[in-house]
Structure 1
């Protein structure tokens, strides 16, 4: 049993965590809880035999398929334009996709994305959304927006656990050599130069969203390399710097620098800063993470417009519209709609099964879209964890683990008792390059396996944590986010995927931007909605 436990921990979290966990033989009771995702089997019905079709059709002006950030952004844009005959269908029991949130007696908490970097520009749909939330307090003399201080992540923001001690920040400065620090400074200077770079048209080389970036070959050629290859080519060999870059790639893209294009790796460090080394105003976050953004989008929609528990299995363009067929997930009852316009706000691997013409003749470019799995676990504690060194922060990273560590859901709450109950949201990107094998590994692990893995990861950093652990809930995201593998971001597949089918079927999802981020989902959702508006014959100023 001990050998099996060690092998399990090593396979998911790495040998350093396995060694540490197996060294501690203190007995403890398992933490009660469970695996809480339920839509995997339902979604996989798309792979099987043709599903039944309803005899009667409902009519609607616009049908949005998918109530993640992209689909809700599309519905939000349509609502602002005064289009009321809109239906949003969602397979899951609630809206939000990977930005959804949960809640218990202690706090709200994220089930996926947990922050939004403060935008640098006072333009675009994300800024419009933040203004609707009263998150924006003004602009500075340079035109950069200013944000409500209560929404910006408060200090301490980040810390790093290494060999028994917590240190401030995400770069391990303790024990760093002069050569390590010199290489870090050289890397930061390169990233600042990339951030300041503009093309002849004034476009940033690396912008948010990616659609606003320069397409000049000087920059896009970086997409042909992995980030690891670029680091080697440029002579960046410090193990500490390599760890930092790997962490960045795992954090935003779900895999290491070996699996990420150099363009994407540089984008992480350059797109959200001004070229002077300042990374915007910071991070905007809430206890429920980006679930707060989902809630704002939902608040703009008419009651009942979003219908959960509906599996859409066919979208068929016809003259003047689309036929959409679906099943109620709970009952299996077939449903069908005739829509003048459709926004398909789901990832390409789902669209491949849903878009009727693609089932008959699958576009080759669909195979270029690859998706990595993630696992997110929320651990409720009766008191904040005790630790040695730098104090508890919002983001708490474990240097020797393959996990990303955890964020503290209650960090942003104004609490008098900083030692009171809390919820830790733990993140594990399944970062291996064989995404199918990683997905199978994630989905095959039992709750008992996940309980052992989460506690093995956290206990070395927090002795006594087991005594305060109240409940653990685990969410598996089998296809959590698109991976920006080399050649994908500036290759033909992503560009082809963005094109509408005729003037009736439009696409929206973060994978169209090549990065699984809220800004990408929001931008493509709004763009698809504006295409649908044009298809309805309505004119409206663009938000993009």
Structure 2
């Protein structure tokens, strides 16, 4: 039975948005566009029974399976070490995974991750990558890197829409009581304390990437609680503060504070600041979001190293390395490789179908991983949307919606005050506790449904936006990112999943870090590459 418009909007975005949207009547599908993803049809070949095997086997020194950020980071590290014969296989036509980007006549735009928090310290592979891009302008006496001004988010940075008006920032100061503001001050003080905390070895309690954090029980015990339960235990009950914390969890982890580990929730507020309330320089971004970082990683690979539209369906450790069986995703032609070393750079739920020993005997720890779906939509407008209140910013949040609002792709090109066309990138984490049910809901919605949902979110905040809308394109990510659920960050599942299988098969993905973030994917990609280097007998200084 088809849902009414009000039922549809309430189911996806909440009752407050449904009430606002249904004050105006409009048919679905008025804005031209399409659902553009194809990963569901192609990726599900892994579940469709046996796939053909090639008779001819190609020898490869190192094979990287997956050209998301983790796989590209592994290949980048290997290329820098001078390893010859590195091959990267990617299922999709475009590399980058959830950091992929698109482009039209107006602008480049992200299809997923759209920014990188500026690193606090001048060390590690992320800063190395940014240096290769020319993004680092210098280092101060305290060892903190500074970044090119053009890459830091321009003002105004963020605003939110609440009951007919746009406000600066993300905390609802208007109408806040003395008790609300005191809770905010106390929360910030607690976060500063966590950020300053160090263990006996000098390690930060909460570090970037998460694997560099202290494993002292004083802090890891927080993993047993949800972030919502921790707030309640500590006496934080202000609805305004809870909204900020919930927004943070949905923004970085794709689900609510109720379903996020307290360790991970606190990590969000502390890992990127120095303990004095001073955060990093801000956020680095480009019109295409983290697609710019993907392009840099790809540019470091030797010509011909990256092969697209190749579905690797079986990885089998054998004498002398691993046999990898694959098919051309377009033609169905089988291929096979014999690699001395393999980096499998895909999430655990995919690896469970690809690693032959795991198909025969499924490891118990695979059940510890949960992945949340997201939907991203790019809306092209003939001119910037009209607003009431604080002016158009880079990040524009709808306070009463389950979406995260939108970012402006043209913001970094200094065109936000012009009257020309622009692209708004809208984000919806399907944040319910039952990830499977949320995924089914996201995948069952039609283009007309998504058009209705995006415009229901936009119209109350931007009167007249329908007349400006030129095209809408929708990308569904069924398993967009791993969820750091309570007990997961410091549990046995994540630890076991990171171990190599023998001496020839190594793993890399952001899910091994417990959080679907660029820094995690990059770190695990470099780590896997350095395990490969060690097995090849290459003595290299670690980038980690």
User: Fold match, TM over 0.5?
Assistant: yes
Name the SS of the counterpart of 2:411 in structure 1: helix
Partner Cα distance (1:25, 1:89) in 2 = 48
Q: Is the 8 A contact 1:28 1:466 kept in 2?
A: no
Partner Cα distance (2:410, 2:312) in 1 = 37
In structure 2, the residue matched to 1:11 is 11
Say what the alpha-carbon RMSD is for the aligned residues. Answer: 1.2
Partner Cα distance (1:416, 1:367) in 2 = 45
Partner Cα distance (1:338, 1:27) in 2 = 55
**Which is further off, 257-266 or 17-26?**
17-26
Q: Cα 1:29–1:318, aligned 2, differ >3 Å: closer, same or farther?
A: closer
Name the SS of the counterpart of 1:61 in structure 2: strand
Q: Give 1:47 shift.
A: 1.5
Partner Cα distance (2:80, 2:406) in 1 = 37
In structure 2, the residue matched to 1:420 is 420
Question: 1:464-498: per-residue Cα shift (whole Å, max 9, x none)?
Answer: 00000000000000000000000000001101111
Q: Give 1:406 shift.
A: 0.1
Q: Is the 8 A contact 1:99 1:291 kept in 2?
A: yes
In structure 1, the residue matched to 2:205 is 205
Q: Give 1:415 shift.
A: 3.2
Q: Cα 1:377–1:48, aligned 2, differ >3 Å: closer, same or farther?
A: same
Give the 5 Å matches for 1:17-416. Answer: 17-25=17-25, 30-415=30-415
**Which is further off, 414-423 or 167-176?**
414-423
In structure 1, the residue matched to 2:433 is 433
Partner Cα distance (1:220, 1:415) in 2 = 45
Question: 1:315-349: per-residue Cα shift (whole Å, max 9, x none)?
Answer: 00012200000011111110000000000000000
Return 5+ residue gaps in structure 1 as ranges: none
Q: Cα 1:416–1:166, aligned 2, differ >3 Å: closer, same or farther?
A: closer
In structure 2, the residue matched to 1:483 is 483
Partner Cα distance (2:56, 2:320) in 1 = 18
Partner Cα distance (1:76, 1:167) in 2 = 42
Name the SS of the counterpart of 1:280 in structure 2: coil
Partner Cα distance (1:525, 1:170) in 2 = 33
Q: Cα 1:26–1:54, aligned 2, differ >3 Å: closer, same or farther?
A: closer
Q: Give 1:11 shift.
A: 0.3
Name the SS of the counterpart of 1:258 in structure 2: helix
Q: Give 1:84 shift.
A: 2.2
Question: 1:36-77: per-residue Cα shift (whole Å, max 9, x none)?
Answer: 001211111111312111001000000000000000000000
Partner Cα distance (1:46, 1:268) in 2 = 35
Partner Cα distance (1:97, 1:462) in 2 = 31
Partner Cα distance (1:513, 1:282) in 2 = 22
Q: Give 1:28 shift.
A: 9.0
Q: How many residues align?
A: 544
Question: 1:172-205: per-residue Cα shift (whole Å, max 9, x none)?
Answer: 1111111111100100000000000000000000
Return 5+ residue gaps in structure 2 as ranges: none
Q: Give 1:420 shift.
A: 1.6
Q: Give 1:417 shift.
A: 5.4
Q: Give 1:537 shift.
A: 1.6
Partner Cα distance (1:499, 1:355) in 2 = 14
Partner Cα distance (2:174, 2:21) in 1 = 24
